[in-house]
């Protein structure tokens, strides 16, 4: 099952990032301003979650394994699945593409920093090899889409919605596969993973909703909430303490997509 999910996540990333590359900018240049990028990278995706996580650790609300799993989720920003929903809520695909790539780089740096601080235990895990793999499945399809959009605009306009729908379908099927494989185990297991997952969803989803501009708000909220499950599962695959961390990570994955579905449904209904 793990091998199937890994392949699924790979295909998902390739399709969604290619669709983002094909998408034309539909809004003004204000959405890609440096302030927006920095606020999203440093504020919503790193500093705010890290400060909340430090407070949770100080209050001793969760076990050490739950805290370590939460730390991995904080570090694993840049989930490509966000790109499958941005256009559906009238967000900015171009801004989403930029943020996903930048967040992927910052997440790898965050994992290295958290490892140095002993917040997570990576052991002999090779972060460099993982970085090359993740950047390849993110940057290459994004640039391929942009090149196609530049030199074949008619083809891009015709096929971008179809590729985007294919990416959305892959995300939905991935969520269903996770729910069927792990949903009952999570819901009938100890409450701590579910509580930790709920705390993660709230710390990622609520701050970006304060953005005043609706296009930026919806784009940033989705990109911030949806974390990089490919990165998380790749790290867990080689960690000896993975069985203790996996319940929290899987619970967060399910809760994350449920919260995403609620947000997308609400925004589409309001339009």
The predicted structure's pLDDT at residue 2: 55
At 72-131, the pLDDT tens digits run: 899 888 888 888 888 889 888 888 888 888 888 888 888 888 888 888 777 666 677 777
CA distances in angstroms from 87 to 10, 56, 83, 168, 208, listed in the order given: 21, 35, 8, 11, 17
The predicted structure's pLDDT at residue 264: 92
pTM for this structure?
0.83
| Residue in 173, 213, 237, 219 with CA at minimum distance from that of residue 44 | 219
21 within 8 A of 143, measured Cβ to Cβ: yes
Whether 30 shows a pLDDT value over 60: the answer reads no
At 39-75, the pLDDT tens digits run: 888 889 988 998 998 898 888 888 888 999 999 899 8
- The CATH number linked to 125 is 1.20.1530.20
**Number of separate domains in the chain:** 1
For residue 238, give the 3-state DSSP assignment: coil
Whether 3 shows a pLDDT value over 70: the answer reads no
Phi, psi of 51 (to 5 degrees): -65, -40
The answer to whether the Cα torsion of 35, 38, 43, 45 is positive or negative is positive
At 134-150, the pLDDT tens digits run: 777 778 888 888 899 88
Burial class (CB in 10 A: 0-12, 13-18, 19+), 116: exposed
Burial class (CB in 10 A: 0-12, 13-18, 19+), 217: middle
The predicted structure's pLDDT at residue 31: 45
245 within 8 A of 236, measured Cβ to Cβ: yes
DSSP 120: S
C-alpha 210: how far from its chain's center? Answer: 19
| Residue in 118, 119, 125 with CA at minimum distance from that of residue 66 | 119
Domain carrying residue 248: 2-270
């Amino acid at each position: 099952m793990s091998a199937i999910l890994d392949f699924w996540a790979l295909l998902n990333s390739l399709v969604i990032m290619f669709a983002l590359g094909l998408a034309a900018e539909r809004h003004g240049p204000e959405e890609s301003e440096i302030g927006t990028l920095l606020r999203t990278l440093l504020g919503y995706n790193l500093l705010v979650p890290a400060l909340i996580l430090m407070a949770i650790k100080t209050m001793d609300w969760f076990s050490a394994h739950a805290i370590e799993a939460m730390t991995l989720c904080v570090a694993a920003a840049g989930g490509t699945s966000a790109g499958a929903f941005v256009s559906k809520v009238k967000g900015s695909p171009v801004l989403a593409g930029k943020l996903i790539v930048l967040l992927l780089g910052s997440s790898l740096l965050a994992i290295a920093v958290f490892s140095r601080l002993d917040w997570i235990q990576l052991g002999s895990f090779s972060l460099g090899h993982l970085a090359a793999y993740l950047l390849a499945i993110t940057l290459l399809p994004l640039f391929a889409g942009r090149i196609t959009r530049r030199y074949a605009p008619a083809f891009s306009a015709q096929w971008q919605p179809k590729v985007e729908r294919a990416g959305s379908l892959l995300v939905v099927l991935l969520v269903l596969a996770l729910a069927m494989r792990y949903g009952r185990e999570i819901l009938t297991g100890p409450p701590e993973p579910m509580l930790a997952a709920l705390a993660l969803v709230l710390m990622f989803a609520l701050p970006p909703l304060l953005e005043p501009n609706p296009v930026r708000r919806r784009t940033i909220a989705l990109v911030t909430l949806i974390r990089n499950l490919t990165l998380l599962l790749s790290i867990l695959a080689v960690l000896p303490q993975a069985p203790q961390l996996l319940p929290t990570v899987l619970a967060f994955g399910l809760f994350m997509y449920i919260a995403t579905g609620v947000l997308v449904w609400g925004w589409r209904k309001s339009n």
